Amino acid sequence: MTHFDSYVAIGDSFTEGLNDTLPDGSFRGWADRLAEILAGGRDDFRYANFAIRGKMLAEIMDEQLPIALDIKPDLVTVCAGGNDIIVPGADVDEVAAEFEKGIVKLREAGIEVLIFTGPDTKGLSVMSILRSKVGIYNAHLWAIADRHGAKVVDLWAMHVLHDLRAWSDDRLHFTPEGHRRIALRAAEVLGVPTESDWREPWPESTAPVNWLTLRRSDLEWTKTHLLPWIRRQLRGESMGDGVLPKRPQLAPITVPAPMTTKQTVAALAEQSVAEHSKSA
CA angle at residue 24 from 18 to 29, to 5 degrees?
25
Q: In terms of C-beta density within 10 A (0-12 exposed, 13-18 middle, 19 or more buried), how is residue 95 classed?
A: buried
| Mean residue pLDDT across the chain | 86
Whole-angstrom distance, CA of residue 82 vs CA of residue 155: 13
Please write the tens of the pLDDT for every residue from 148-181. 999 999 999 999 999 989 998 887 899 999 999 9
Whole-angstrom distance, CA of residue 29 vs CA of residue 20: 5
**Residues near 35 by beta carbon (within 8 Å), at least 6 away in sequence:** 7, 9, 45, 47, 49, 253
Please write the tens of the pLDDT for every residue from 211-258. 445 455 666 655 665 556 566 666 776 777 789 999 999 999 976 655
Contact 60, 15 (CB under 8 A): no
Please state the CATH superfamily assignment of the domain spanning residues 6-279 in this structure.
Answer: SGNH hydrolase (3.40.50.1110)
Question: What are the start-end ranges of the E strands in 107-221?
Answer: 112-116, 151-153
Whole-angstrom distance, CA of residue 77 vs CA of residue 190: 11
**pTM for the full predicted model:** 0.84
